[in-house]
Amino acid sequence: MHYNWLSLSFTALLCTTDVFITSVSASTLAPRKGGDPKDLMRNQVNQAINIVSKQPGSNMKNSGFRETKNDKELLAHLKRLTDAKQATVKKGTKVEPRKVKVAFFEFYGTKGDIGKSLYYLDEIEKSKILKAQSKRLARIMDVVKAEKTFEVKFGVDCEAKKYLTDEVKKVYAQDIAQCGEDRQGFKDFIKRTIQDWKPDAIIQGHAIERLYDDEQPDPDDPAGTTFFKGLQIPIQKCVKDDTCFTVKLKSYTKTIEDVKRKDKQGDEYSLTKNDITLVGQTPDYYAGVKLELSKQVLIGRAQTPLDDSTKNPQKLTDWLKADDTKKVMYLSSGGKVRPSEKDKDKITPVFKTFLDKTLKDEKYKDWKFIVMHYTQGSDADKQGVLTDDDRVFHIWYPSNLMDLWSNAKIKIVVHHCGKGSFDDAILSKKAQICMPQIGFGKDMVYWAAKLKELNIGVGVPPITFKDPDSKEYMGEQEPYPEASMKEFFKAFETLDGPQGDEMAKNTLPLIKVLTADTAGELTLKVIKRWANAFFKRHAKDKKFF
């Protein structure tokens, strides 16, 4: 499978939980001078390997053990298991070569979450064959005839099927069909796969547990926990019995305090011989955080695949190309989808107030505006809607931000300051105005404050929405104070000039780490390292044939 990896607007949704706010050293936000930016992420994985190597009974070699040697040992384990199985069948019967059996379970999340999971799935798919990294490994490869190392089964929550790419649906059609048309079918698939197929590794995609909060208690769980917890029971048993290891993929971090908690948030992260949590963020923002305490291995930014449903409308492209379009401001507030914004006249009130005044001010006559409605529009809205003398272009969720923000005429990006949008604006080399949302994540206020420190934008007072936790939530904004609105206008005036250009230039040194592209490489390294240690622990166990 091969995708065009571009970030979507959904990345704004990914980091809506706590970050290591109290542990960040302000001086470490910019990439360190000298050396390879990839080393920041590689060192995280090496630290994780060293931590687990010291745990009793892990059979994990420390990070000084070369990857070529690890791959050689892993291939030898697979050959040994194949030979052992061959010895149990009739003479002349050929058994299939043993592979590392990987069960990839994708839970429900936003399209951005699932898109990032597909990034990892694609990396595993492309790397099913271990490539020769040395002459010595090449000889081992010859011995096993370069057989595929990974065998993958893919299960997905029925609610998330609509977010899969056509290629994933095609490649894993049989597995996906077995997941059924409801969440019970997904649960049965997980249980059946673990019991019958007996995977060595279980990868858990970007599950957002709160999206399961409205589910009824699971009848199969004697403790009466939620349906999501019920999904986890067979996985947790597998880990406890040391008959598999799990790799949890996350897009967001949690505070060390949350990791220590004993409730559902606390058991979400771990770093053991059987369980590791990988987070698609860069560690330069979290210097000083001890991995032993955070239990979250930051492996670098994972990209999201682009599909046809998220291409920006041609009408918008033509509007941006027009000669009378000179300077454009993008206005959006991510967070939680807001049904109240479905109609073109129903935008976030703070933006409406801002536009009503700005469009009438002669000194801003050269400015045009793109407004993102954070909900899906009607079919008629798919090509976008122009209003207000062609100076305001309305678009609806979802849209491809990186494609849009990379346009040279877009000078300022206004967003809610989720980590995904924060990074996307840097990658697009745009000055930012961050307007956090109260109730959807502490990290937004934190990243907004960092704009001034990095001199890449301005943070303004946050907005709040009515009933953010209720089922009746519509995304109706609470009144935005007049003093806050004045700060918003002041931020716009600051960025409308040389300071805005300077802030855009200041993004350049921050891009190196964000574009290091290590997430796939390091995920594969973790799987192979943990698999090698896993097979060592069970070298004499016949049930692993």
Q: What share of the chain is helix, strand, coil (3-state, %, to 5)?
A: 45, 15, 40
Residues 6+ apart with CB under 8 A from 519: 41, 119, 120, 123, 278, 280, 299, 300, 301, 302, 303
Euclidean distance between CA atoms 189 and 185, whole angstroms:
6
Quickly list H helices, 98-243: 111-126, 135-143, 166-171, 173-178, 183-192, 227-240
Strands 437-438 and 297-298: unpaired
Euclidean distance between CA atoms 312 and 59, whole angstroms:
50
The pLDDT, as a whole number, for residue 250 is 84
Span 151-162, pLDDT tens digits: 888 888 887 777
| Cβ proximity of 164 and 118 under 8 Å | yes
The pLDDT, as a whole number, for residue 336 is 77
Euclidean distance between CA atoms 252 and 256, whole angstroms:
13
Q: Dihedrals φ, ψ of 111, to 5°?
A: -60, -35
The pLDDT, as a whole number, for residue 288 is 75
Euclidean distance between CA atoms 330 and 414, whole angstroms:
6
Strand partners, 238: none
| Cβ proximity of 67 and 42 under 8 Å | no
Residue ranges of domains in the chain, CATH in brackets: 36-55+63-83+97-303+517-537 (3.40.50.2000), 311-513 (3.40.50.2000)
Low-confidence ranges of the chain (pLDDT < 70): 1-35, 109-120, 123-148, 207-225, 255, 261-267, 287, 303-310, 379-380, 441, 542-545
| Amino acid type, 27 | S
Stated pTM of the model = 0.82
DSSP string, 418-450: -HHHHHHHHHTT-EEEE--EETS-THHHHHHHH
| Cβ proximity of 3 and 118 under 8 Å | yes
| Cβ proximity of 478 and 464 under 8 Å | yes
> To which residue do tokens 């980590």 refer?
419
Span 29-83, pLDDT tens digits: 444 455 688 999 999 999 999 999 999 999 999 999 999 999 999 999 999 999 9
